[in-house]
Amino acid sequence: MSLKIYNTLTANKEIFVPVRPGKVGIYLCGPTVYKPSHIGHAVGPIIFDAVKRYLSYKGFEVTWVVNITDVDDKLIEEAAKQGCTVPELAHRVTENYLAALEQLGVHGIDHMPLASEHIGGIIAMCERLISRNAAYVSGGDVYFDVSADADYGKLSHRKPDEQQSGSRELASGQKRNPGDFALWKAAKPDEPPEVQFDSPWGKGRPGWHIECSVMASHYLGETFDIHGGGMDLIFPHHENEIAQSETCHGVPFAKYWMHNGLTRIGTKKISKSDPEMARRMGELTLGNLLSKYSAELLRFCVLSTQYRRPIEFSDEDLDAKRKGLETFYRLFERIQRITGQDPYASGTDLDQIHSSVNGEVEQAFVLAGLNHRARFLEAMDDDFNTGGAIGVLFELAGCINRFMEEQRLDTRHDARLATLAAAAVQTMRSIAAMLGLFEQRPVRPDASSGLVNQLMEVIIAVRAQARSDKQFALADLIRDRLAALDIRLEDRPEGTHWRQGR
Nearer to RNA, 168 or 218 (CB): 168
Binding mask 338-357 for RNA (x = CB under 7 A): --------------------
Nearer to RNA, 69 or 285 (CB): 69
Q: Does 317 bind RNA (CB under 7 A)?
A: yes
Residues 165-204 that bind RNA (CB under 7 A): 165-168, 178
Q: Which of 193, 282, 359, 398 binds RNA (CB under 7 A)?
A: 398
Helix, strand, coil percent values for the chain (each to nearest 5)? 50, 15, 30
Nearer to RNA, 251 or 320 (CB): 320
Residues 249-288 that bind RNA (CB under 7 A): 260, 262-264, 267-272
DSSP E strands: which ranges in 246-389?
Answer: 254-260, 263-265, 268-269, 311-312
The window from 23-31, 104-112, 187-195, 198-206 that contacts RNA (CB under 7 A) reads 23-31
The window from 108-116, 151-159, 242-250, 358-366 that contacts RNA (CB under 7 A) reads 151-159
| Least distance to RNA, CB of residue 231, Å | 5
Q: Could you tell me how many residues make up the chain?
A: 502
Question: What CA–CA distances, in Å, run from 372 to 95, 327, 344?
Answer: 39, 17, 20
Q: Which of 125, 234, 303, 409 binds RNA (CB under 7 A)?
A: 234
Which class for 302: exposed (0-12), middle (13-18), buried (19 or more C-beta within 10 A)? buried
Nearer to RNA, 18 or 179 (CB): 179
Residues 58-117 that bind RNA (CB under 7 A): 69, 74
Q: Is the peptide bond before 442 cis (omega within 30 degrees of 0)?
A: no
Q: Does 4 bind RNA (CB under 7 A)?
A: no
The window from 77-85, 314-322, 442-450, 453-461 that contacts RNA (CB under 7 A) reads 314-322
Q: Does 394 bind RNA (CB under 7 A)?
A: yes
| Least distance to RNA, CB of residue 276, Å | 13
Q: How do strand 204-206 and strand 141-144 relate by DSSP bridges?
A: unpaired
Amino acid at 90: A
Sheet of 61-66, strand order: 61-66, 23-28, 224-230, 254-260
The window from 133-141, 226-234, 243-251, 351-359 that contacts RNA (CB under 7 A) reads 226-234
Q: What are phi and psi of 346, to 5 degrees?
A: -75, 145
Are 499 and 491 in contact, with CB atoms under 8 Å apart?
Answer: no
Are 244 and 213 in contact, with CB atoms under 8 Å apart?
Answer: yes
Give the list of residues 6+ apart from residue 282 with CB closer than 8 angstroms, or none.
288
Q: Does 299 bind RNA (CB under 7 A)?
A: no
Q: Does 387 bind RNA (CB under 7 A)?
A: yes
Q: What are phi and psi of 27, to 5 degrees?
A: -120, 125
Residues β-bridged to residue 227: 27, 257
What CA–CA distance (Å, rounded) separates 346 from 482?
35
Q: What are phi and psi of 92, to 5 degrees?
A: -65, -50
| Least distance to RNA, CB of residue 258, Å | 10
| Least distance to RNA, CB of residue 459, Å | 13
Q: Does 475 bind RNA (CB under 7 A)?
A: yes
Nearer to RNA, 351 or 378 (CB): 378
